């Protein structure tokens, strides 16, 4: 894959009316989520259930995988009930790890300067969203903030975008979507969203991985050039 020619975005900003941005891994460093779900939660779950860490880790990874691509996947209430843990409180206590990716604020200001509508479109649960908006203070940059629970479908479902268009009025031919999840971009493409951008470095702690089928960026400064 890395030997293949990388597709780079070529955005004519005169064609864009609405900029839709994912949150975790796209605007925010996914290191927080990876560490929380893959290390911290298994550690606490192991302690509470008298398991060793790797037994707890294997159990939780299987549980997570079973709900991938559904609303439960990011539903903090669902997982709190399933695991017997107060996950919202645990996230609050670790919010120092929540960080905005480099150049995100610059890009949001750039979009504002061009008078684009800016929508935050996330699968994250509203409780998680509140914690992250409070920590990062980027909420004021968005014209709309939409969680998938509000739509009733995850972003991986093409019908999500139809419902979102009905709710927000965005036009598929003049909308840009940036996301770090290729399955989400695939569903948006199936719906007909014209301008799609893959964020190739979702976590500061992991290497760059370019998309096979979508123009890719590492940082948002590449869309301002």
pLDDT of residue 4: 56
Model-wide pTM > 0.85: yes
Report pLDDT for 126: 95
Residue 74 CA to residue 36 CA, distance in Å, equals 13
pLDDT < 70 regions, the chain: 1-5
Q: 224: Cβ–Cβ under 8 A, 6 or more apart, which residues? A: 103, 106, 107, 110
Q: What is the predicted pLDDT for the residue at 7?
A: 81
Nearest 10 degrees: Cα torsion 46, 203, 81, 65: -80
Tell which residue, 122, 129, 127, has the closest CA to residue 156: 122
For domain 13-30+98-223, give the CATH superfamily: HAD superfamily/HAD-like (3.40.50.1000)
Q: In which order are the strands placed within the sheet that holds 175-179?
A: 144-147, 117-122, 18-21, 175-179, 195-199, 216-217
Q: At 213, phi and psi to the nearest 5?
A: -120, 5
The candidate with the shortest Cα–Cα distance to 204, out of 16, 75, 35, 41, is 35
For residues 203 and 180, what is the distance between their CA atoms, to the nearest angstrom? 10
Q: Please give the pLDDT value at position 8.
A: 82
* pLDDT for the residue numbered 1: 42
What are the domain boundaries of the chain? 13-30+98-223, 32-96
- pLDDT the model gives residue 3: 44
Q: Which residues contact 78 (CB under 8 A, 6 or more apart)?
A: 67, 72
């Amino acid at each position: 894959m890395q030997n293949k020619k990388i597709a780079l975005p070529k955005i004519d900003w005169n064609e864009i009316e609405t900029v839709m941005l994912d949150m975790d891994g796209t605007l925010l460093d996914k290191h927080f989520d990876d560490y929380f779900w893959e290390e911290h939660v298994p550690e606490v779950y192991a302690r509470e259930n008298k398991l060793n860490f790797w037994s707890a880790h294997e159990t939780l990874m299987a549980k997570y995988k079973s709900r991938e691509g559904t609303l439960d996947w990011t539903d903090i209430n669902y997982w709190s009930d399933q695991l017997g843990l107060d996950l919202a409180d645990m996230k609050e206590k670790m919010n120092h790890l929540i960080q905005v990716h480099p150049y995100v604020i610059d890009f949001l200001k750039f979009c504002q300067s061009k008078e684009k509508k800016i929508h935050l479109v996330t699968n994250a649960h509203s409780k998680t969203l509140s914690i992250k908006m409070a920590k990062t203070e980027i909420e004021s940059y968005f014209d709309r903030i939409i969680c998938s629970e509000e739509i009733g479908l995850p972003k991986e479902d093409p019908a999500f975008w139809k419902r979102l268009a009905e709710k927000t009025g965005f036009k598929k031919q003049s909308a840009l979507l940036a996301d770090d999840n290729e399955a989400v971009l695939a569903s948006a493409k199936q719906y007909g969203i014209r301008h799609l951008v893959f964020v190739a470095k979702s976590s500061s702690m992991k290497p760059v991985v370019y998309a096979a089928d979508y123009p890719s960026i590492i940082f948002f400064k590449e869309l301002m050039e």
